[in-house]
Amino acid sequence: MIRLLSSIRRWLDVAPRNAKALGVAIMVLGPITELSASGYYGPAEYLGGAGRNLIASPEFYWELEVKRLAGSFHPPEKLLAEARKARRTDGALEDLTGDADTNDFVAAISSGAIKPPDSAKATGQHEAVRGFLAATKETTTDSPPAEFDSEFADYHRGALAYRRGKSHWDEARTAWEKLLGRPVGERKYRSVWAAFMLGKIAMKSGNPEAVQWFQQTRALARAGFADSLGLAADSYGWEARSEWKQGHPEKAAPLYLTQLALGDETAVYSLKALIPDREPVDGMLNYGPDADEREKWSAEEKLADQQKTARALLAAGRDPLLRRLVTSHILATESNRSYYYGADVLTKSHDRCAHWLDSLKDLKGSKIEDAEYLGWIAYANGDYKAAADWLAVAGAESPAACWLRAKLLLRAGKIGEAEKSMARGWETLRDSNRYTGWLAGPSEVDDSANGNERDNWSFEKYASGDLGVMQLAQADFTRSLDTFRNGKLWPDTAFIAERVLTTDEVMTYVKRQPAPAATKSSNDIETKPSGLRYLLGRRLVREDRYQEALGYMPAPYDKHLQTYVSALKDGADEKLPKLQRARAWFTAAWLARFDGMELMGTEVSPDGFISDGNFADTDIAKERLAGTYEMASYVDGQSVKRTESINPKPSKQEIQRLKANTIRPDVRFHYRVIAAALAIRAAQLLEDNTEELADVVNRAGLWVKDRDAKAADRYFAVLKQRAAGTRIGREAMTKRWFVEESGPWSAEQKAAYDSNHRISDNAEPKTD
């Protein structure tokens, strides 16, 4: 088969500039920079920014770190899933409590734990009291309905008093203490509930006895007393809050982490209360004075607060668990800072990191758990010697230690050793659940509330990005692609697949992957084998390997590709009449223009299939070939640009491949240039001053006029020289530019295209 598209691409490279000789000359479009008013510039590539991501600290996340710490806690209690869900819905917890109370009452009668003379009457009374309880408020003065004397009645009396407000809490306390004073055999179902509520009253009253009540709640449940609401598991968080309110953060920490280990993710937020130097965050529960309130403090009050914070930090540094929590919080809020934060924020961040590490210097001679994370703070703060020192103190092969060692080795130029260390850590880091040991299901925590907002990459993506770049630097191209893909870094995966690997290497890799599962989610295609399959199909089209491409094109573009290829064949068939050939070339041109992105568009630069062509993606290949990157930063509120070298330097093998695997022509929406060239081939076979000729040349001009004015000028010269006497030609001469008019062939092609693509009259026009 004739390599039709390749011949077009070669023609684009060498086309003469004399418009009359061939009917037109094709000019390659120049680069165009597009900005978005929203501030979004399209998909972010981990490889972008001169390798800054590889050199910088990754962004740590509070949620992940506290879950990792919670992994060493293994309480025997179980969190009640229904209660966990009910807390998030207004009224649901009250309904759940009512149902549990009713079910327990029925069970108590069935088991003989309580023996009313008339079970039906007692059940009716129980339900009447439940209804009265649900309607009770602080203003309620009516007496409750009578009910059979039992542990349930004792509990209800306490609950009614509790709901009537703080002034009635003594009544509630008396009722629940009476319940717990019953013989063991008479309080199987409400002992846990009573102890828990006595703990809540004590905590809300500032009574340290709350701690003992919550501990008794768990002890009763372990002794076999009924816990139908999972209050034993809940008691950890309440006890922790009681200890915190009493000024015992070292006691609250393990309790909150136990609460988290049970799967209650509200502890992720509660644990922040234990960080002495945590800054208040607007719109968040800060467990202390907000920023506005602090601004009103006098100088003496501010100094007193600073001294209090300093004492609390010093104490936290001497407590193993609090030390790890503060370290985790500093990493979650100060790691991966960028110039966007401003000099004042960066200085404050630097000082916070340095102060914390300085306060722990005297501990370096002893065994410090998680010392590698202190090394990460030093690394994020730019103190690489201190980072190495803390890593030595750790003496660990934890995933975080392997990662930090890889970063330090990389800075020392030992990229091979760095990659090996990173690969060891990545086996765990690639999966946040493996990293944290979290087994309680998908996270329910709002990402934006944990340290910095996740506006860059996830923890897993940072790790995968680092390993992928290290492998790329060592010319381990297929493994680099695999790492990027498994890390869900799709733009980088696509760059390797389109510009670094050969087409056959991509095909070999794709064939080794499991068959893609059917999916209706457009977002899934990026990281599934189907994403690479489609990318490969379009690359095969760009290389004229149409038959192979068909096997990788999704419907309906497999059918459209067949139509396109058939038109190319007919256009090149010199045995056919010129008019038939010209019509075929224009059919191919129309498909190239309006299906070009889907048939041959590049995933990343220059076409940007990844964003449907909406954004001009970073030209990673161009940066790596040049070996430099233009970095922007802000100094005194002014944008300053400087040139940075790519780090690590691309290998000779990569450079050779980038030069070999070029996109021809290497311009944005390159298929539009292909489409215009095909239209001009049709024009070469048509008679001068025919409506068909004017139509195809005008249409080619319209396709490129906004992309390259010089190329459009040459097209217009052809229209002027060969079709000035036509209807479209006359209108174009009057306007002195191309006109938005349909001719016989463009109208025909549009109708056929719309019919084949099932485009309705109300469909949005395609604008890529």
Token digits for 218? Answer: 């768990």
CA distances in angstroms from 440 to 70, 87, 128, 222, 600, listed in the order given: 12, 17, 38, 22, 44
* 707-718 mean pLDDT: 83
pLDDT at 27: 28
pLDDT reading at 114 higher than 90: yes
Confidence category of residue 456, pLDDT binned at 50, 70, 90: low
Give the end of a domain, one of 259, 274, 289: 274
Predicted confidence (pLDDT) per residue in 237-257, tens digit = 999 999 999 999 999 999 999
Predicted confidence (pLDDT) per residue in 333-346, tens digit = 988 765 455 566 67
Conformational region of residue 248, where left means phi above 0, alpha means psi within -120 to 50, and beta covers everything else: beta
Same structural domain, 27 and 97:
no
Token digits for 227? Answer: 């816990």
Question: Does residue 373 fall inside a structural domain?
Answer: no
Question: Does residue 477 fall inside a structural domain?
Answer: no
CA gyration radius, the chain: 35
Same structural domain, 186 and 267:
yes
Amino acid at 191: S
Give the Cα separation of 418 and 411 in Å (integer). 9
* 258-284 mean pLDDT: 88
Same structural domain, 21 and 85:
no
pLDDT at 634: 62
Same structural domain, 12 and 158:
no
pLDDT at 299: 87
pLDDT at 31: 26
Same structural domain, 27 and 89:
no
Residue 214 sits in which domain range? Answer: 81-274
CATH of the domain at 149: 1.25.40.10
pLDDT reading at 445 higher than 60: no
pLDDT at 284: 59
pLDDT reading at 499 higher than 60: yes
CA distances in angstroms from 473 to 48, 484, 653, 713, listed in the order given: 14, 14, 10, 44
Amino acid at 356: W
pLDDT at 763: 40
Enclosing H/E stretch for 75: none
Confidence category of residue 636, pLDDT binned at 50, 70, 90: low
Predicted confidence (pLDDT) per residue in 6-65, tens digit = 555 544 543 433 333 333 332 222 222 222 233 333 457 899 877 788 989 999 999 999
pLDDT at 20: 34
pLDDT reading at 433 higher than 80: yes
pLDDT at 760: 39
Phi, psi of 208 (to 5 degrees): -65, -15
Residue from 16, 19, 3, 229 nearest 104 by CA = 229
Give the Cα separation of 670 and 609 in Å (integer). 12
Token digits for 467? Answer: 């390993």
Q: What is the DSSP letter of 421?
A: H
Same structural domain, 146 and 14:
no
pLDDT reading at 427 higher than 60: yes
Question: Does residue 85 fall inside a structural domain?
Answer: yes
Give the end of a domain, one of 258, 274, 290: 274
pLDDT at 290: 75
Token digits for 228? Answer: 């139908």
Predicted confidence (pLDDT) per residue in 128-173, tens digit = 999 999 999 999 999 999 999 999 999 999 999 999 999 999 999 9
Token digits for 709? Answer: 């004015």
Look up the pTM and report it.
0.86
Same structural domain, 100 and 225:
yes
pLDDT reading at 727 higher than 60: yes
Total domains, the chain: 2
Residue from 744, 738, 661, 736 nearest 701 by CA = 738
Token digits for 551? Answer: 């096997």
Give the Cα separation of 502 and 497 in Å (integer). 8
Question: Does residue 592 fall inside a structural domain?
Answer: no
Altogether, the residues listed in the chain come to a count of 768
Q: What is the DSSP letter of 500?
A: I
- Other Cβ atoms less than 10 A from the Cβ of 294: the count is 14
